[in-house]
Amino acid sequence: MNFSFGRQTQKANTEQIRQVKEWIYQALKLDKEIPISLSQLQCTESGCPPLETVIAVMKNPVEQYKIHKPIAQIEFIDIAELMK
């Protein structure tokens, strides 16, 4: 039985997650000691794709960014756009 209740899920593999984190470290010029959290969530905002990625950079205070794509579809340019 599938109990997803219509929720769309798309899991990213470990390599995709590692690559996205590496791009974040590069684009934001972060020290590798600073943890990064990636969360793939259902987007509830009007006009938003079904899945978005929330990035939390564990600095003090925590910095949070959103990319309106699942992790598997993120490219370096999406991360670079966060800097603008």
- Domains of the chain, by residue range, sit at 14-81
pLDDT tens track for 24-61: 999 999 999 999 999 999 978 788 788 999 999 999 99
What letters, b where the CB count within 10 A reaches 16 and e where it falls short, cover 59-68? Answer: eeeeeebebe
Topology (CATH level 3) of domain 14-81: Double Stranded RNA Binding Domain (3.30.160)
How far apart are alpha carbons 59 and 73 in whole angstroms? 26
Least confident of 5-9, 10-14, 35-39, 46-50: 5-9
How far apart are alpha carbons 54 and 49 in whole angstroms? 13
**Residue 7: its pLDDT value, please?**
46
**Residue 2: its pLDDT value, please?**
38
Q: What's the predicted TM-score (pTM) here? A: 0.80
